[in-house]
Amino acid sequence: MQYRRLGRSGLQVSQLSVGSWVTYASQVKVKAAKEMLALAMDRGVNFFDNAEVYASGQSEEVMGQAIKALKWPRLNYIVSTKFYWGLAEPDAKKVTINRKNTLNRKYLMQAIDGSLQRMGLDFIDLVYCHRPDAQTPIEETVHAMSDMISQGKALYWGTSEWSADDIRAAWCVADKHHLHKPVMEQPQYNLFNRKRVEQEYARLYEDIGLGLTTWSPLASGLLTGKYRNGVPKDSRGARKDMDFLVNGLTHDAKNKAVTKLEMVADDLGCTVGQLAIAWASHNPRVSTVITGASKIEQMRDNLDALNVVERLSPDVMDQIDKITRSLAE
């Protein structure tokens, strides 16, 4: 495992990390989470990603309980959470103003307290604004995020799926008022979703030292090849809460490209999924690639992608690019 600085910060994160979206609480309970987190730590992973909205807070609870059971020294691991969507309301008639889809100060300052309680931690290393909020003045959001750090509830803050313009605006507000600046962005990045990382953010890496903790290296499973013949019953795409993914997962041209990528992977002695993870990690602008797994065998396969990174020669990268570039968004 190699470790990379998170942007211009001094924090070092493992090149591969573990996320909990979709899996924790719904598929992965505390016992399984403990086993997989232990394996990941043994393999050198030190960053574990979460979000308030994942399983309506239960994902944070599962991860927190698993980490507590493992009794890791706090200096040995990095955890994150993200705010914007809020928690699901059991009663639809309840007031949701200032509770969901916002980055206003009231919501943010209470959201961090909720996450700390659910995870059983004194502070969270990385906190993200999970989406931009056009209804809240960016100055208000920046001040609130900076205050989380000043109060010792978080160490670094950043954004997720923000435009380059919005990230720069937040950074400039923080710079002008001598506040804690956003350090990282968490965008989707894979062979079919690459323009934001490779083009839109290009100037931010040098201008403000932006670091990246990227998600979905397998394009929600498309890059494993499992959707070439439709949607398997036990797959993510078959879940009712994931039905918005189906059209993308069964995209004919992309699945044909995956078949071609599989031939490249065969030549390298790896799976197409490992090839996709290695490709994302190969980008020096990516601080860490967040991987997900519902079974320990999947986690082993994901982590074995580390062995593929060094095999990605310029010729191999060129082959991959020719197969996927025209389909990338």
250 pLDDT band (50/70/90 cuts)? confident
State the DSSP string of 119-171: HT-S-EEEEEESS--TTS-HHHHHHHHHHHHHTTSEEEEEESS--HHHHHHHH
The 10s digit of each residue's pLDDT in 120-143 is: 999 999 999 999 999 999 999 999
Residue 293 belongs to some domain of the structure: yes
Q: Tell me the residue range of the domain where 195 lies.
A: 3-218+280-307
Structure tokens at 218: 């397998």
For residue 202, give Cα distances in angstroms to 167, 194, 208, 214, 311: 12, 12, 11, 15, 26
Residue 229 belongs to some domain of the structure: no
Residue 236 belongs to some domain of the structure: no
Contact 51, 88 (CB under 8 A): no
Amino acid at 302: N
How many domains does the chain divide into? 1
Strand partners, 97: none
CA atoms within 13 A on the CB side of 302: 28
Residue 166 belongs to some domain of the structure: yes
State the DSSP string of 61-113: HHHHHHHHHHT--GGG-EEEEEESS-PPPSSTTS--TTTSS---HHHHHHHHH
Which residue among 3, 24, 54, 205 is the active-site one?
54
248 pLDDT band (50/70/90 cuts)? low
Q: What is the CA radius of gyration of the chain?
A: 19
Q: How many helices (H) and strands (E) does the chain have?
A: 13, 10
Residue 296 belongs to some domain of the structure: yes
By CB atoms closer than 10 A (0-12, 13-18, 19+), residue 215 is: buried
**Is 201 in the active site?**
no
The 10s digit of each residue's pLDDT in 2-51 is: 999 999 999 999 999 999 999 999 899 999 999 999 999 999 999 999 99
The 10s digit of each residue's pLDDT in 185-205 is: 999 999 999 999 999 999 999
Q: What is d(CA 100, CA 56) in angstroms, rounded to the nearest whole number?
A: 12
- The CATH number of the domain where 150 resides is what? 3.20.20.100
Give percent of the chain with pLDDT exceeding 90. 87
Q: Model pTM?
A: 0.93
| 222 DSSP 8-state letter | G
Contact 280, 189 (CB under 8 A): yes
Q: What is d(CA 191, CA 214) in angstroms, rounded to the nearest whole number?
A: 12
pLDDT at site 231: 67
Q: Is the pLDDT of residue 230 over 80?
A: no
Residue 323 belongs to some domain of the structure: no
Residue 247 belongs to some domain of the structure: no
Residue 235 belongs to some domain of the structure: no
